[in-house]
Amino acid sequence: MSTFSRRQILAATGAVIVLGTATARARGSLGATPEPSPVADLHPALVTAKELADLQGASSLVAVMPDDAFAKRRIAGSIQLDWAELELKDTSDEAVAAWTAKMQELVAVRGIRADRPAVVYDEGTLFAARGWWQLAYLGYPPPTILDGGLPAWIDEGEEVESGPEDISPVEAPLLENAIVQRSLLATKADVLAVLDDPDVLLVDARAPEEYAAGHIPGARNVPYTDNAVAESPHVYKPADALRAMYEAAGVAPDKRVITYCSTGVRGSVAHVSLRLAGYQQVALYVGSWNEWGADSTAPKTTGNRP
């Protein structure tokens, strides 16, 4: 269990904020027909390190990184979410419902609030996208992403802090009346149902060698690293460049798109990138290849073609 600063603990005890007029609690809304979003739009926004420096104190900072990276260096006052603890290996209805409740509790105990804008960042991995997806899925206002992550912050000359924090977390109230955004999540059953649907496309965000070793039939391979510039800090490519890249891979903007990888982390980067590029209907197969590959009955193909 990670530990948190006194400022985070005080934040965690704040009032619960109600979003929209819906009355259903998040943990009861996993039906086949998703409810409308309680937020204005589900498209991610990017913030530069310079812009974030001007916003400090007005935003909740969420570091999406493992314990060792968080202890090594972070922006002062950050709340930690380890992307590994967000994993879902079984996307059956019962497992998704239990996992959703667990994620609600996790976000609450970390003190992530909905009465102030959240900014998610990583240590240069692009994995802040996993935090973006998680909060958006749970019905929180989708956070802003620090473009380029912590390396961009450091390049701007801003200070970081390090070392463990030894104060235990205090559970915050769950976000009342949040509506789980079921349309953002694809299950194994969802993917099986659309394998032959020409209006749905799959994007595999893993490395080419992983893709060639085995992938879901019909999936296009666009490695997650291709969504950002090669040099550090790894800022996202411009929207028009992202759109051109996906279109060149055969991912048409008018199709529904399901992204995946091994555990849903790299697939989240593809998910965010597609939304940055203007794609409207994008879901993450959160179980990804770890679930699909382990199922002997799930169809698979090899090689470097869909």
Report the catalytic residues: 261
For residue 252, what are its two tokens?
């048409």
Query: Do residues 54 and 285 lie in contact, with contact meaning Cβ atoms separated by under 8 Å?
Result: no
Of 142, 156, 17, 150, whose CA–CA distance to 73 is shortest? 150
d(CA 284, CA 188): 11
Query: Do residues 115 and 11 lie in contact, with contact meaning Cβ atoms separated by under 8 Å?
Result: no
The residues near 223 (Cβ < 8 Å, ≥ 6 apart) are 205, 206, 207, 208
Of 72, 17, 4, 19, whose CA–CA distance to 179 is shortest? 19
Of 204, 224, 214, 185, whose CA–CA distance to 293 is shortest? 214
Query: Do residues 119 and 12 lie in contact, with contact meaning Cβ atoms separated by under 8 Å?
Result: no
Residue 36 CA from chain centroid, whole number? 19
- In the sheet that holds 45-47, the strands lie side by side as 45-47, 144-146, 118-121, 60-64, 79-81
Q: What distances in angstroms separate CA 48 from CA 3, 120, 235, one per listed residue? A: 28, 12, 9
For the chain, how many helices (H) and strands (E)?
11, 10
